[in-house]
Chains A and B, each alone.
Chain A
């Protein structure tokens, strides 16, 4: 499952870097494309940064309707982001959020990528693909990002996109 997670994330990260090279954030002094996986950050990490995509993984299950012993798995994914806009009055935060929506939609296309093993260098093609559903954009959520913003009520505009990724498990079912 980790290979699928890594492949999905790195595909989106690479696409974001190509689509909007200026969309970056600084983490531990390193400037990277503004998409990160929450579970890869230290638990004590600071509040999510504005204008960046935060990927969180949810429930996984074996998808039905497939044949053979190579399990087709599904994994829920949530991508959260918010913006204060670009001016002090924050009146353009909706527009910036719309731009983030569009960028997320774009980097999700095509909705598949090779599944690769990134634990070795260079990475190895595992022979199958990771593919995913189109993202649904939600206004409110119960994610950690949302909970923090609810408390702050600081006027930010935020969205959460949910999608489901699919992949063939490396584990062979008996």
Chain B
């Protein structure tokens, strides 16, 4: 027989874990987190397509959805209230750096610095003329890229690859699987055939090289390479203060449960936005901090700040910015 326990109603956590998944930018459809279908997943194995971005620090949620009062009568007594403009933000620090973490913290186009072409001398802050791409053959998957005998061996274990289509003068969102940038005109990107691979999220590290293919240590975020894709080596990542593109992702934050009860925060659509809440005294600039390990050693973290965008709940059509779900511990009292 189970007795309800009030002590088990206290969620205790040690740290917060972040998971992100792409929003379909063409339709603005988020990745849906259904607590009933996948809420109690092991934290090391999130359900697809959620990507584990590791433990985060200084997680803070902010909301500003003021209510206003309807008054009536000679004494203008409160007769009811309604919600005003909605706004919610979330901020935290990534402790782990990676392609996706940097893109989310930077907020705009995130550049893969492609390995330079032999003899390239013209400097460009986000990477100059790259070595030509190597065609990816049909049959490749998100974890194995076929290049053909004698070609794959041109890569070595440990190298990073950007895998995507050539830029073909199109406008709109580019990047297979995940929108990585928005191209307003071909001239803006100088008709550069490498542009998609400069920004794509389909980046992977080579774990093993076979005679005709390379095996990746992690699957490409956007899935199997599209037909006609090529691969280029990546030597660094660059984000930029500025840019016109806004990243937009679905986010799920899970408080590691120490007492059995799990708390999740789901934001269907998050868009990077430094906001004003953490601004300095002038209210204009946001200071990035280092996390001291033991002076002078410090860890460099990536500060990320987001504005929540609205989503319509299909159950009742209500417009919401975020969801908080709670999975009570086994014997916790219901109320």
User: Are B258 and A129 neighbours in the complex by a CB distance under 8 Å?
Assistant: yes
User: Are A131 and B258 neighbours in the complex by a CB distance under 8 Å?
Assistant: yes
User: Are B14 and A111 neighbours in the complex by a CB distance under 8 Å?
Assistant: yes
User: Are A127 and B330 neighbours in the complex by a CB distance under 8 Å?
Assistant: yes
User: Are A131 and B329 neighbours in the complex by a CB distance under 8 Å?
Assistant: no
Residues of B within 8 A of A151 (CB): none
User: Are B12 and A125 neighbours in the complex by a CB distance under 8 Å?
Assistant: no
Residues of B within 8 A of A68 (CB): 6-7, 9-10
Interface residues of B in 9-28 (CB under 8 A from A): 9-10, 12, 14
Q: Mark each residue of chain A from 27 to 67: 1 if its CB lies under 8 Å from any CB of chain B, else 0.
A: 00000000000000000000000000000000000000011
Interface residues of B in 132-186 (CB under 8 A from A): none
User: Are B10 and A67 neighbours in the complex by a CB distance under 8 Å?
Assistant: yes
Number of residues of chain B lying within 8 A (CB) of chain A? 17
User: Are B14 and A70 neighbours in the complex by a CB distance under 8 Å?
Assistant: no
User: Are A128 and B8 neighbours in the complex by a CB distance under 8 Å?
Assistant: yes
User: What DSSP secondary structure best describes chain B's contact surface?
Assistant: loop
Q: Mark each residue of chain A from 52 to 91: 1 if its CB lies under 8 Å from any CB of chain B, else 0.
A: 0000000000000011111010000000000000000000
Residues of A within 8 A of B6 (CB): 68-70
Residues of A within 8 A of B332 (CB): 127
Task: State the CA gap A66–B3 with chains docked (Å).
Answer: 22
User: Are B258 and A112 neighbours in the complex by a CB distance under 8 Å?
Assistant: yes
Q: A interface, how many residues as a size bin?
A: 10 to 19
**B117 adjacent to chain A (CB < 8 Å):** no
User: Are B258 and A125 neighbours in the complex by a CB distance under 8 Å?
Assistant: no
**A8 adjacent to chain B (CB < 8 Å):** no
Q: Mark each residue of chain B from 10 to 50: 1 if its CB lies under 8 Å from any CB of chain A, else 0.
A: 10101000000000000000000000000000000000000
Minimum distance in angstroms from A164 CB to a CB of chain B: 13
Minimum distance in angstroms from A80 CB to a CB of chain B: 25
Assuming the contacts A70-B6, A111-B258, A112-B258, asked whether A131 and B12 have C-beta atoms less than 8 A apart, the reply is yes
Task: State the CA gap A72–B9 with chains docked (Å).
Answer: 12
Interface residues of A in 67-123 (CB under 8 A from B): 67-70, 72, 111-112
Residues of B within 8 A of A127 (CB): 2-3, 5, 7-8, 329-332
- Interchain residue pairs A-B with the least CB separation, the first 3: A127-B331, A70-B7, A168-B7
Residues on A lying within 8 angstroms of B by beta carbon are 66-70, 72, 111-112, 125, 127-129, 131, 166, 168
Question: Known pairs A70-B6, A128-B260. 9 more at Cβ < 8 A?
Answer: A68-B10, A70-B5, A127-B2, A127-B3, A127-B332, A128-B7, A128-B331, A129-B260, A168-B10
Show 20 A/B contacts (Cβ-Cβ < 8 Å), sorted by A: A68-B6, A68-B9, A68-B10, A70-B5, A70-B7, A72-B10, A125-B330, A127-B2, A127-B7, A127-B331, A128-B259, A128-B260, A129-B258, A129-B329, A131-B12, A131-B14, A131-B258, A131-B259, A168-B7, A168-B8
